[in-house]
Amino acid sequence: MSKEYVVLDLEWNQGYPKHEHSDIPFEVIEIGAVKLDQDKKIIDRFESLVRPAVYKKLFFMSAKVTGISMGELKEADPFPEVFKRFMDWCGEDYIFCTWGSMDLTELRRNIRFHKLEPLSRGPLPFLDIQKLYSLEYDDGKSRLALKKAVDLLMIEKTDAFHRADSDAFYTAEIFMRLNQRGLEKYESYDLYRLPATKADEVHALFPTYSKYISRGFTNKRSVLHDKEAASVRCFFCDKPTQITIPWVSVNGKQYFAMGKCAEHGMMRGHLRIKKNWDGVIYGMKTIRPAKPGDEGELRQKEKTMKEQEKKLKKMFRNNSSETRGI
């Protein structure tokens, strides 16, 4: 059977200040989804409210935005029952699609809280329709609100926004209007669970760049000294390049490097060092063929970094001198 698409949207509640549960800051109160076949035609819909187990009072913004009442939620089934029905409805061969990246993370957090079988033991591939919309209709970097994209595509608004079933439907309508070939190859990864081992690390190749997602590390230095995380491989042949500009950073979170492949020319690497929800450090790296001006930009970053290091060393020396003079 060919893979189907499950376009998912969630609504959630949260605790009032000082009354939040650290393991589940956002509790799912509604699941909505639209199922599309391999030709991106709607074949089914799913919607269910969820009875809360943690936050028994609606946060004022949750009530205002969704229009859901606590009375309705008290009549709904608890999360484990709704989630089981939802997964049975999803079937066996599908990929999740969402508007943005938050829904799957919060769904997986709720799954973990209720001690249910996880969706995945590691990173979960999905299609971020918000990103794909930007790749086709915008600059590929900006991220529009769902309602704005619906307006720009002149999609008929038949239901109110900020309800899981209607937002899933509008997201599906946008997905159905994406015509650029190859867009669905740009999978995203929900990283609520990181790769458990080196063998589980993500190595993904897209039409214009490659992506690497590391396993967890105890600190930033370990990421930067890991052979795979610190490499700049050729986008075309995957062979290690000769580094021409070592990893440089001006903020300690994003690093850039360039390397030269003898056969395919210059490659630009971008390494982001991030922290997962449980405090584990990991690296997310992209590599693409270099563009004109990349080398000059990175040389400037390298110069700025060295100037910052000189200032820090000078400050340290001055402080040390003042301390000795006391």
The angle formed by the CA atoms of residues 161, 154 and 156, to the nearest 5 degrees, is 50
Quote the pLDDT of residue 324. Answer: 57
Give the pLDDT mean for 2-20: 88
Quote the pLDDT of residue 63. Answer: 93
Model confidence at 204, in pLDDT bands (50, 70, 90)?
A: very high
Give the pLDDT mean for 287-312: 88
3-state secondary structure of 281: strand
The answer to whether 127 and 95 have CB atoms below 8 angstroms apart is yes
220 Cβ contact list (under 8 Å, min separation 6): 252, 273, 281
Q: Is the model's pLDDT at 326 over the cut of 60?
A: no
CB count, 10 Å around CB of 117? 8
In whole angstroms, what is the distance from residue 33 CA to residue 45 CA? 6
Give the pLDDT mean for 29-43: 97
Give the pLDDT mean for 249-257: 89
In whole angstroms, what is the distance from residue 269 CA to residue 234 CA? 10
In whole angstroms, what is the distance from residue 264 CA to residue 290 CA? 10
In whole angstroms, what is the distance from residue 230 CA to residue 225 CA? 6
Quote the pLDDT of residue 198. Answer: 96
Give the pLDDT mean for 165-182: 95
Q: Is the pTM of this model over 0.85?
A: yes
Give the pLDDT mean for 253-268: 96
Which domains are present in the chain? 4-185 (3.30.420.10), 196-307 (3.30.310)
Phi, psi of 250 (to 5 degrees): -110, 0
Q: Is the model's pLDDT at 185 over the cut of 70?
A: yes
Q: What secondary structure does DSSP assign to 197-208, as a single string?
A: SGGG-EEEE-SS
Q: Where would I find the H helices in 236-293?
A: none
Which residues on neighbouring strands pair with residue 27, listed in sequence order? 13
Q: Is the model's pLDDT at 25 over the cut of 90?
A: yes
Across the chain, mean pLDDT equals 93
| CB burial string 191-212: b at 16+ within 10 A, e below | bbbbbeeeeebbebeeeebbbb
Q: What secondary structure does DSSP assign to 74-123, as a single string?
A: HTSPBHHHHHHHHHHHH-SSEEEEESSSHHHHHHHHHHHHTTPPPS-SS-
Quote the pLDDT of residue 222. Answer: 96
Give the pLDDT mean for 144-150: 97
Rg of the Cα atoms in the chain: 23
Q: Is the model's pLDDT at 201 over the cut of 70?
A: yes
